[in-house]
Chain A
């Protein structure tokens, strides 16, 4: 039978606010347990939430960038359930009136474009973390993350394959990073998603029974988990069995999804409007102000890079695939004196990205400044540093405080450009290879390469080839 996979994603992206959604506590990652939880985050008796307006602006930015409608009045609701990492016994979220809704975004699969509708994106607070290890017979709770602002982005079930799901998730990830509303750090849990998966016969209008796979925190896991889940569902149906509506977990080590809880076991969250918080009112003035200050979006940057730097589509795509790479490129470009955009692009795509890949880190953790990178490329452009030695310099400059000039100087990497020294080398070569000189004079222009090679050899590769060429031609007349 011909099956169609139907997928909707709920992406949780942590907003990059300085303080929490309803308290003044810091949102910084990695502090010792429970040191970034105020009495509000701890749900002490009598405390009240106060809405952080920074999160509001970020949510509106997302809405504007995805053609969403912005709700003039949206409401916080309480989602009630008991868990030790949820101090108040309810999560403050949005239910009936989300802050933004009815938007869409394009994804590209093999150079065809597909539009995915966004149902809604709403603000909510994150829960804390239960620590089940390292305590005898008990569990610990770390509430540092409790109250951290999240934007939950819910798509329509418009996605039809694991690959499309991956592309959609990457697209949203790129967008929130470009907007500066999230650091997008997936290892730290700043960007994760739940996937709703069902299957149906192709052409069928009715949706099949769906399962929800929780907490997928990498693009690869999303693709993998959806593939596995679709296969599982198809197998069940083809064997005459039924799909249970349930929540499932993806185990990346065993490479399987397994049941977490069934629909019957699901909580009744008893949503109701939170009486501690006023409705969020948003007027056109605010929306316009945010619109005016919206940063350049991925598509715009991609087109600008092509027109402004004369890049190929491919180069522009790579350089704008990640806002940090794009920023690094433009940072270097601004600081170079003579190096061309193409040269910078080649060096970023080549040596720099491969260095980062080897170290398994992102460009944000790059330990070479844009200043130093610019200096090295200028020297290459001006033939004062060879490409091979430039690579050496890059490695030596990684994390070093030493100025680039002194690294080059100390290692003797600088190409000789002094006319007197080069003339002396040329004189020796001309003297030692009269036959070849004769050939040149007889019109064999190509043999100039032979002399340059010899000069390079004599100077152990550290001579400016352009200068050698120039002086040779002069000498040989």
Chain B
């Protein structure tokens, strides 16, 4: 059975989808990725869809699901490299992918993940300081 590889890069997981997804492949990816987030305690997931030419409502839902599932496992998801034609189609289809962070390319996506995670850590530092102050 086909599988989409999930690479670990420090605190992040990196997924590059090089083929057009069909339903079963997308479902397998969803399950594998959520399991990997838990196993590796990843803080961020980066999904590169630059080679994907079609995202229909099912694939869109899977992408949204991955983001929400990772979120409740304390990891942020960034989708990068969406083709303009795919963006047009998704909006016309009625799927704005709310709650999914996006960036134009892998580099910008990595930076976004880093800032999001720094931000959360800063937040925690602040609360600690607040506690000490009290």
Task: Judge: A and B partners, yes or no.
Answer: no
- B: residues with CB less than 8 A from A are none
